[in-house]
Amino acid sequence: MHIPKMLMAKEGPEFSRIVQGFWRLADWNKTKQETIEFIHGCLELGITTFDHADIYGEYRCENLFGEAWADALIDRQSVQIVTKCGIQLITPEHPNKSYNTSEKHILLSVDNSLRNLRTDYIDLLLIHRPDPLMNAREVASAFSKLRGSGKVKHFGVSNFLPCQFELMASAMDFPLITNQIEYSVLNMEAQADGSVDLCQKRGIAPMAWSPFGGGRLFTDHTEQIDRLTKTLRRIGEEMGGASIDQVALAWILKHPVHFVPVLGSGKIERVQSAVRSLELSMTRDQWFSIWEASNGRDIP
Ligand SMILES: NC(=O)c1ccc[n+]([C@@H]2O[C@H](COP(=O)([O-])OP(=O)(O)OC[C@H]3O[C@@H](n4cnc5c(N)ncnc54)[C@H](OP(=O)(O)O)[C@@H]3O)[C@@H](O)[C@H]2O)c1
């Protein structure tokens, strides 16, 4: 199956309907050649959008990807690279983990990402988390400079509450095109806090990180997960034999806001299984029955 593309916002960009994340790349223990094969495997499925952050793998993942990318012989225009900045891990210069959304830090971080990723532009830059010391005008000024220099094409945020999103958007001369938020059958907070509604109001597609709860859906045995597993299995049977991962993704994809799930597996066969969720059609009854299994109560 070859998955379709989707406009993230009226102004673009166009992303693949499912995105592959590289947070865990350093843990996959792949050789450079295996990483190249994994990237090609994603492209064969139609996954052309790759999600990164400066800090992934303690600042190592962008570079691991970049080393593979440099030898992968793939047309840069055929893929979309997303990365993030704004979190500072503990290093000799920074004895405390902190957030830094100063203009200086954002500009420096993008230059590092470009160097590590072996590319001369980033398709989408996100502020990784809302920084309590954020000066929205300063972030907007950094974004304008990066846009003007052609280093970054589009901008967005991640894990921002609606009021934080509105603050950031109000300081900018051009639109934020997404909010990357946690959303899955295990975590529906973004629905309750208004983040999903704000995306729908603004006509932008949110990106859903940890679509399988970081893998907990397959490994943990809480009451919530046991209820969910039973329900997802039943619905998979009703759908003619879909697996748990496929039903869990179909639940995210059914939302009219057009969530773009960001997958985290390093195993191409799991990515292949996940994209087949796009062929499934879920009824409202099935969607709400998963909601009830997750929340452990009837719909009010
Ligand atoms: N913006 C943010 O704050 C933020 C936060 C977290 C993540 N992210 C992004 O979202 C991406 C995805 O997050 P995630 O890695 O937590 O996603 P996830 O897909 O929910 O979890 C990935 C984990 O689940 C396992 N897994 C996946 N499919 C499986 C299956 N069918 N059966 C059994 N195990 C399975 C994977 O193991 P295997 O590798 O062994 O398959 C991996 O350990 C990240 O790479 C990153 O790009 C963003």
Question: Which three-class secondary structure string do you get for 17-79?
Answer: CCEEECCCHHHCCCCHHHHHHHHHHHHHHCCCEEECCCCHHHHCHHHHHHHHHHHHCCCHHHC
Domain 5-220+245-280 fold: TIM Barrel (3.20.20)
pLDDT tens-place string over residues 251-274:
999 999 999 999 999 999 999 999
| Burial bucket for residue 19 (CB in 10 Å: 0-12, 13-18, 19+) | buried
Residues 6+ apart with CB under 8 A from 197: 162
The number of the ligand 1 atom at minimal distance from the alpha carbon of 273 is 31
Within the chain, what is the greatest distance between any pair of CA atoms?
Answer: 56
Is residue 266 lining ligand 1, measured as CB closer than 6 Å? yes
Per DSSP, the three-state class of 88 is: strand
- The residue-averaged pLDDT of 14-19 equals 98
Distance from residue 213's CA to the centre of ligand 1 (Å): 7
pLDDT tens-place string over residues 34-59:
999 999 999 999 999 999 999 999 99
Distance from residue 210's CA to the centre of ligand 1 (Å): 5
List the residue whose alpha carbon is closest to atom 24 of ligand 1: 215
Residues 6+ apart with CB under 8 A from 222: none
The pTM is what? 0.98
> Phi then psi for 5, rounded to 5 degrees?
-100, 165
Is residue 213 lining ligand 1, measured as CB closer than 6 Å? yes
Distance from residue 147's CA to the centre of ligand 1 (Å): 30
d(CA 113, CA 106): 10
Cβ–Cβ contacts within 10 Å for residue 159, how many?
18
pLDDT tens-place string over residues 92-141:
999 999 999 999 999 999 999 999 999 999 999 999 999 999 999 999 99
CB-CB contact of 21 with 264 (8 Å): yes
pLDDT band at 2 (very low <50, low <70, confident <90, very high): confident
pLDDT tens-place string over residues 211-238:
999 999 999 999 999 999 999 999 999 9
d(CA 281, CA 4): 16
pLDDT value for 263: 98
List the residue whose alpha carbon is closest to atom 43 of ligand 1: 215
Is residue 211 lining ligand 1, measured as CB closer than 6 Å? yes
Q: What is the CA radius of gyration of the chain?
A: 19
Is residue 57 lining ligand 1, measured as CB closer than 6 Å? no
pLDDT value for 180: 98
- The residue-averaged pLDDT of 282-293 equals 98
Which residues form the catalytic set? 56
Is residue 23 lining ligand 1, measured as CB closer than 6 Å? yes
pLDDT tens-place string over residues 153-209:
999 999 999 999 999 999 999 999 999 999 999 999 999 999 999 999 999 999 999
- Residue whose pair of structure tokens reads 């597609």 in the numeric block: 205
Distance from residue 22's CA to the centre of ligand 1 (Å): 9
pLDDT value for 58: 97
Distance from residue 208's CA to the centre of ligand 1 (Å): 11
The number of the ligand 1 atom at minimal distance from the alpha carbon of 184 is 20
Is residue 61 lining ligand 1, measured as CB closer than 6 Å? no
Q: What are the domain boundaries of the chain?
A: 5-220+245-280
pLDDT value for 1: 76
Our mutation pick for probing the ligand 1 site, out of 16, 212, 246, counting the most ligand atoms within 8 A of Cβ, is: 212
Q: Give me the amino acid identity at 223.
A: E
Distance from residue 145's CA to the centre of ligand 1 (Å): 33
